[in-house]
């Protein structure tokens, strides 16, 4: 075994990378850590601080070469996800870890990275609603749910769904009582001030506003996903 000595706690590795959405990673990481049953590692190519999409920096705790076999590998999302879709070093790391992991997971557009690594083929999955239709490019079955569990694949929807994803994973690992305890300790009782958190709930003008604001980025993301899907098929 390479790197850090393992203990008897479950080891969850959350991938970090430049331009990651910080809530995609910190939401689940905080809930995992608060359980006291999980060793949470932030994994990247090096342990040099990386800049998040919000402009802050986050410090990886473990580099790819030093990573042991993780019990859970998780890929959060963010605009930097686009740059990972053809990153062989990252995709190879995910494939190697997935081969021995108990669970292979993602939050938001991190699912597209799993797809590019060939890890969602034949699985039901979800991602951020703006990119949901791209899952099919990688042989996944898109499911419009907040969290989707399919065997040892667990995928969460966009950004805030990472909190729900974390609780579902904790229940899978340790039982529902532990998930309930973590939820209560965090006082996670969402009561949003507006009913606009899903495209089917948002007013039409708000939906159009978000689509127009993200159109250029989404077109780029789709092009990169299509290229990654062609590349994946070429390897079959």
Answer for the pair 51, 57: CB distance below 8 angstroms, yes or no: yes
* Tokens coding 23: 């809530």
Is 11 annotated as catalytic?
A: no
- Among 127, 120, 117, residue whose Cα is nearest residue 153: 120
First CA to last CA distance, the chain: 30
58, 108, 112, 228: the active-site residue: 108
| Secondary structure (DSSP) of 67-101 | ----SEEEE--STTHHHHTT-HHHHHHHHHHHHH-
Residues tagged active-site: 108
């Amino acid at each position: 075994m390479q790197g850090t000595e393992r203990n008897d706690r479950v080891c969850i590795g959350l991938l970090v990378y430049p331009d990651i959405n910080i809530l995609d990673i910190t939401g689940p990481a905080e809930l995992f850590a608060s359980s006291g049953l999980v060793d949470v590692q932030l994994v990247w190519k090096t342990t040099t601080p990386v800049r998040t999409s919000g402009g802050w920096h986050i410090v990886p705790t473990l580099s790819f070469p030093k990573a042991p076999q993780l019990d859970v590998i998780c890929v959060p999302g963010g605009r930097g996800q686009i740059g990972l879709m053809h990153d062989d070093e990252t995709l190879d790391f995910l494939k190697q870890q997935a081969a021995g992991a108990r669970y292979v997971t993602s939050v938001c557009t991190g699912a597209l990275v799993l797809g590019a690594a060939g890890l969602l083929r034949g699985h039901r999955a979800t991602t951020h609603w703006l990119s949901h239709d791209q899952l099919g490019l990688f042989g996944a079955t898109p499911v419009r749910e907040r969290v989707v569990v399919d065997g040892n694949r667990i995928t969460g929807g966009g950004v805030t769904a990472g909190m729900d994803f974390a609780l579902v994973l904790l229940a899978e690992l340790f039982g529902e009582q532990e998930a309930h305890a973590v939820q209560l300790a965090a006082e996670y009782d969402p009561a949003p001030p507006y009913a606009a958190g899903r495209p089917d709930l948002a007013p039409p003008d708000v939906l159009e506003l978000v689509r127009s604001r993200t159109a250029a980025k989404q077109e780029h993301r789709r092009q990169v996903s299509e290229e990654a899907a062609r590349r994946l098929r070429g390897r079959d």
